[in-house]
Amino acid sequence: MQTNFTPAQLADPAMASSEKILRSCVHCGFCTATCPTYLLLGDELDSPRGRIFLMKDMLEGQKPASPEVVTHIDRCLSCLSCMTTCPSGVHYMHLVDHARAYIEETYRRSMSDRFVRAMLAATLPHRARFRAAITVARFAKPLKGVLGALPFIGPRFAAMLDLAPAVVPAKAPAGRPHIFPAVGRRKARVALLDGCVQPVLMPSINEAAIRLLNRFGVEV
């Protein structure tokens, strides 16, 4: 991708890094085949290729982030599936991280947006709080219509209630070891990151992954 950053812009290491990443993109579109938001919405601007064009225009022009750009960048899940299929090795992860930092510097989010983001930041990283929140959400589901009519944050609350599981999974066993030894001779050793959401919503997945790795001689 051709870029037109000025020498003054490229004096900023973050901007220089983003410019290098942008130049490595060849617009082939392989990324669209694995991008979940593009596959769901069918909008080019919700694909990695489309977002790259938006980020290039924003960073190159040193423009404050627009609501359109913020919407499409916010929709990116950062799953990085695009990086696994990109034949050019575009480091999309670093580019979108820079774009998000730029957005926070140049864009004033709405009060409802700031409230929801603060609420999620105060809840998701803390398992006890998150577990309590989804327990409350289960019982609040019948009130979705009423809560959804609230001004500013109603539709978002209604959407979050839809995501609440019908049954809160059992807690993972307390006092578990930090190291799970391989079965038989150890062939490899890996680290498994629990994450914020999975231990609460789907703890059985991590448990199954550990058992499978152990069975194949991998210490976790």
Q: Is residue 138 scored above 70 in pLDDT?
A: yes
Q: For residues 219 and 190, is the Cβ–Cβ distance under 8 A?
A: yes
* pLDDT over 80 at 157, yes or no: no
In this structure, what DSSP letter does residue 37 have? H
Nearest alpha carbon to residue 79 among 20, 37, 39, 125? 37
Where residue 175 falls (left for φ over 0; alpha for ψ -120 to 50; beta otherwise) is left
Domain ranges of the chain: 7-106, 111-163, 170-220
DSSP label of 218: E
pTM over 0.85: no
Task: Encode pLDDT of 38-84 as tens digits.
Answer: 999 999 999 999 999 999 999 999 989 999 999 999 999 999 999 99
Q: What is the rounded distance in angstroms from the CA atom of residue 85 to the CA atom of residue 30?
A: 6
Q: At what angle do helices 127-140 and 154-163 cross, to 10 degrees?
A: 100
Asked whether the predicted pLDDT for residue 174 surpasses 60, the reply is: no
Question: Any idea which of 8-17, 32-41, 194-203 has the lowest mean pLDDT?
Answer: 194-203
CA-to-CA distance for 140 and 143, rounded, in angstroms?
Answer: 5
Domain 7-106: CATH superfamily is Alpha-helical ferredoxin (1.10.1060.10)
